[in-house]
Structure 1
């Protein structure tokens, strides 16, 4: 369960956290950015203290954080054109080092989108892996998705889903009145796999509300009028 993943992975936080010497967050840092980030994969020798080796615990898959900055979006630009990869990680320690230096959803500007997808999968409908997929979505009141976002990430990278191979990634959308977390999958037509993923996701987040699954094909055709194909 996610509680076990949180407990086991939080033991690594103090060893891998990157903190400024004054203990404060860099207010000049762009929303979603990581201090010192240049878009490359983190080095496996990353450590919270110079010269101190940290034992790395590899994940089954490498994952990439992507960010879509609201200030870079424009109505004339094609969807996704302002989206860019931030960092790729492949170990537990790299994840925590990144997570502790990325703004939580509650701290992101309205209109921002933060993604975490398996490496080499672009978080776009056009990506060949995503093309025949869909997404489960949960809605949250403004500034209330931080914990659920973390638990979603831990469940994904910790391979907690029975049909984890079908998962492409997750995105949190920050809007003026609410926040949404969506879990993208690659084979929307496989109803049994999708319902299993949706039910487990609700269990991990202790969510008792109904959630719906929309095919990407329907979302492209009908935009906001697309209807849920599955409910759990």
Structure 2
């Protein structure tokens, strides 16, 4: 009898499920990062970057910039082909880095048509759809090809030197080489901020010393997306 009871106990023990292990509490999801938090992080990174460059004996710029180049195929206007053709040339964040880069860039007068040369703050792509650009627009100035290079250089120096009013609202600038003329444009973040838009226009005129005969045009990027045009059907002249 004892043997039978012992055998029955062994069978029950072997068939019992193993005790369950305690479950670790589920990790709570991290709270989403707000735009304000991202701005603070970005400002902190900029200050740290500037401190490192000063320690290295360099002259840091307020923002880090990137030169981009686009060689467009005449007659082809698809967005995919445009994005595929945008090439990053070089990035820089100091005065010394700018001049090393700029001195090796081709002069506007030697660039083929149609070509776009872009200078944008780091993290902003020269596309209407980029999150920094999508609610903004651009001021447009048309130049004769023989003088566009000088005005482009003056604009680049004003941009990297943070000399234009409402500088935090500026995303970048573009030089568009075309068959009969060259076009400079300055992109800003917020097309609905009328005060900032008009102040930027006045600041550009002042820094480029534009003659009174020059007319500037403004076009929001959402309008460009609708009519698939960068420089036609502008909304504002001044």
Paired residues, number:
181
- Could you tell me which of 63, 66, 87 is aligned with 2:68? 66
Report the Cα distance in structure 2 between the residues aligned to 1:97 and 1:60, rounded to whole angstroms. Answer: 18
Report the Cα distance in structure 1 between the residues aligned to 2:111 and 2:135, rounded to whole angstroms. Answer: 30
How far the C-alpha of 1:75 sits from its partner, in A, is 5.2
Report the Cα distance in structure 2 between the residues aligned to 1:188 and 1:61, rounded to whole angstroms. Answer: 22
- Could you tell me which of 57, 72, 75 is aligned with 1:55? 57
Report the Cα distance in structure 2 between the residues aligned to 1:216 and 1:175, rounded to whole angstroms. Answer: 20
The answer on 1:159 being equivalent to 2:176 is no
How far the C-alpha of 1:223 sits from its partner, in A, is 3.5
Q: RMSD of the TM alignment (CA)?
A: 2.2
Report the Cα distance in structure 1 between the residues aligned to 2:132 and 2:77, rounded to whole angstroms. Answer: 27
The answer on 1:214 being equivalent to 2:227 is no
Select the structure of larger CA radius of gyration.
2
Structure 2 residue matching 1:64: 3-state secondary structure: strand
- Could you tell me which of 139, 159, 166 is aligned with 1:136? 139
* Deviation digits for residues 88-139 of structure 1 (CA, Å, limit 9, x no counterpart): 1000111111111101211111111100000010000110010000000110
Structure 2 residue matching 1:87: 3-state secondary structure: strand
Query: Contact 1:195/1:230 (CA < 8 Å) preserved in 2?
Result: no
Which is helix-richer, 1 or 2?
A: 2
TM norm structure 2: 0.70
Q: Tell me the equivalent position of 2:96.
A: 93
| 5+ long unaligned stretches in structure 1 | 1-43, 46-53
Q: Tell me the equivalent position of 1:199.
A: 202
Q: Tell me the equivalent position of 2:234.
A: 228
Report the Cα distance in structure 2 between the residues aligned to 1:172 and 1:93, rounded to whole angstroms. Answer: 22
How far the C-alpha of 1:72 sits from its partner, in A, is 10
Query: Contact 2:74/2:114 (CA < 8 Å) preserved in 1?
Result: no
